[in-house]
């Protein structure tokens, strides 16, 4: 077979570094309105102001605080070539100090950002992306091309994860969990610094290293977004697996935080190192979990002493005994959980969410291309994960539509994607 010539060599720069996240949508106000009401709203200035005044009273968190005092109509936007049948209008709001006026665009949730399509036409395809259906299958079923669906999904990575997910500042969790998902970008090992609480992923950012500086920068995005919601936000506790750089990063970002050591990780190490002790295997499991289920500090100390004594006397020297004794040496760290009863003692919650993240990353064969594209992709996955509907067969679906609904206690719209779009009003930020 003759050798082909003039084939372009595909090269990729794997040395690109991550720059600052470009947050978008801060001047885009998405209001909860149905299509028929929106068309009536856009029929004239009087109708527009009448509808908008009513909407402002219901969910004020969708608007800048200054809108409560006064706003001015700023005229409609030019007709879009993509969707000429849908018009949008802008308003002007004076800044808090009155020094300038800022223009905002009022947008309906039945239209995607940048006029890329109607929500009803793309929401089923994007829901399939939540379940890791590849882009080429979306093209086969819904048309368009792969880049259209990739860009449609990735644009959600430009919004604040914390701000869009947590609608009421008082419900911002003060007890969180943190861990790093090991993955690859252009063949290089990277880490997704993940923050979870209240059954929602509240932070996901790529770190090029598992050292202190890399993790501090990655977890710092959670801090930035949380403090936009609550300026003096200070979490009480963070559950970690014991990695020193993770502990140092969180204590640097939030000096008053208390790090809670995950008991489950210690148990897993004991389990893995005790497989050769078949005759003691079940007894080891029982005694370790008896320590975990101690009712108070006194009982915990007593059970730890008994576990240590039993391991030294009954078990042969080796990796299994060493792992148990190492757990006993961390007594003071585990005792902190009794001072903070609402803290997470194990990493079960974050593990559940990171398992879904792992499947999503595997299905796309991890990250390729520019590093910021990977950053926006994992952030978009996080918002889709928080807002996607529960399986109808799941017991939780009888009470809540999605994890975000469970956290907030309400939804702006019954449709998951419209609810997400409304939640990204002003990019998820508060002003």
Domain boundaries, the chain: 28-108, 161-262+347-417, 263-339
Band of pLDDT at residue 2, cut at 50, 70 and 90: very low
Higher pLDDT, 229 or 281: 229
Q: Report pLDDT for 13.
A: 55
3-class secondary-structure state, position 107:
strand
Note the pLDDT of residue 57. 87
Rounded Cα–Cα distance for residues 180 and 301 (Å)? 31
Model confidence at 426, pLDDT cuts 50, 70, 90, reads very high
pLDDT of residue 90: 94
CATH 3.30.420.10 matches 161-262+347-417: yes
* Residue 402: per-residue pLDDT: 97
Q: Grade residue 7 by pLDDT with cuts at 50, 70 and 90.
A: very low
pLDDT bucket at 95, cuts 50 / 70 / 90: confident
The answer to whether the predicted template modeling score (pTM) of the entire model surpasses 0.85 is yes
* Mean pLDDT to the nearest integer, 23-52: 93
- Model confidence at 28: pLDDT above 60: yes
More confident residue, 105 or 60: 105
**Beta-strand relationship, 237-240 and 258-261:** parallel
Mean pLDDT of 132-161: 95
Helix, coil or strand: residue 255: coil
Q: How confident is the model at residue 336 (pLDDT cuts 50, 70, 90)?
A: very high
Mean pLDDT rounded to a whole number for the chain: 92
**Token digits of residue 149:** 């669906």
CA–CA dist 326, 270 (Å, integer): 9
CB-side neighbour CA atoms (13 Å) of 418:
19
- Burial of 347 from C-beta contacts in 10 A (0-12 / 13-18 / 19+): buried
Q: Calculate the alpha carbon distances from 377 to 112, 220, 276 in Å.
A: 18, 18, 43
Q: What is the pLDDT of residue 14?
A: 56
State yes or no: pLDDT of 219 exceeds 90.
yes
């Amino acid at each position: 077979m003759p050798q082909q010539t003039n084939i372009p060599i595909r090269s990729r720069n794997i040395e690109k570094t991550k720059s600052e996240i470009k947050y978008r949508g801060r001047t885009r106000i998405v209001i909860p309105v149905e299509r028929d009401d929106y068309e009536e709203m856009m029929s004239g200035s009087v109708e527009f102001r009448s509808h908008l005044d009513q909407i402002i009273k219901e969910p004020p968190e969708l608007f800048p605080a200054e809108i409560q005092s006064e706003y001015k109509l700023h005229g409609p936007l030019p007709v879009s070539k993509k969707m000429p049948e849908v018009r949008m209008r802008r308003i002007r709001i004076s800044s808090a100090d009155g020094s300038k006026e800022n223009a905002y665009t009022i947008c309906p949730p039945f239209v995607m950002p940048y006029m890329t399509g109607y929500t009803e036409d793309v929401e089923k395809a994007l829901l399939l992306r939540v379940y890791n259906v590849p882009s080429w299958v979306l093209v086969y079923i819904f048309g368009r091309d792969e880049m259209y669906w990739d860009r449609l999904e990735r644009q959600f990575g430009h919004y604040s994860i914390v701000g869009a997910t947590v609608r009421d500042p008082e419900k911002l969790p003060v007890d969180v969990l943190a861990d790093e998902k090991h993955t690859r970008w252009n063949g290089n090992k990277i880490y997704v610094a993940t923050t979870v609480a209240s059954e929602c992923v509240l932070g996901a950012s790529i770190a090029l290293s598992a050292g202190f500086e890399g993790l501090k920068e990655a977890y710092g995005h959670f801090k930035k977004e949380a403090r936009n919601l609550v300026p003096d936000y200070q979490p009480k506790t963070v559950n970690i697996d014991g990695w020193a750089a993770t502990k140092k990063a969180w204590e640097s970002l939030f000096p008053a935080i208390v790090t809670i050591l995950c008991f489950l990780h210690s148990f897993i190490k004991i389990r893995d190192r005790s497989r050769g002790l078949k005759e003691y295997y079940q007894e080891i499991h029982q005694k370790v979990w008896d320590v975990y289920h101690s009712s108070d500090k006194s009982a915990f100390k007593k059970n730890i002493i008994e576990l240590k004594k039993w391991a030294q006397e009954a078990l042969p020297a080796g990796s299994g005994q060493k792992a148990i004794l190492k757990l006993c040496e961390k007594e003071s760290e585990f005792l902190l959980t009794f001072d903070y009863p609402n803290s997470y003692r194990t990493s079960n919650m974050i593990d559940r969410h990171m398992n879904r993240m792992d499947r999503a990353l595997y299905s796309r064969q991890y990250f390729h291309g520019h590093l910021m594209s990977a950053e926006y992709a994992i952030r978009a996955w996080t918002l889709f994960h928080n807002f996607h509907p529960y399986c109808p067969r799941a017991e939780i679906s009888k009470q809540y539509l999605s994890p975000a609904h469970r956290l907030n206690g309400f939804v702006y719209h019954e449709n998951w994607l419209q609810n997400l779009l409304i939640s990204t009003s002003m990019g998820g930020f508060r002003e």
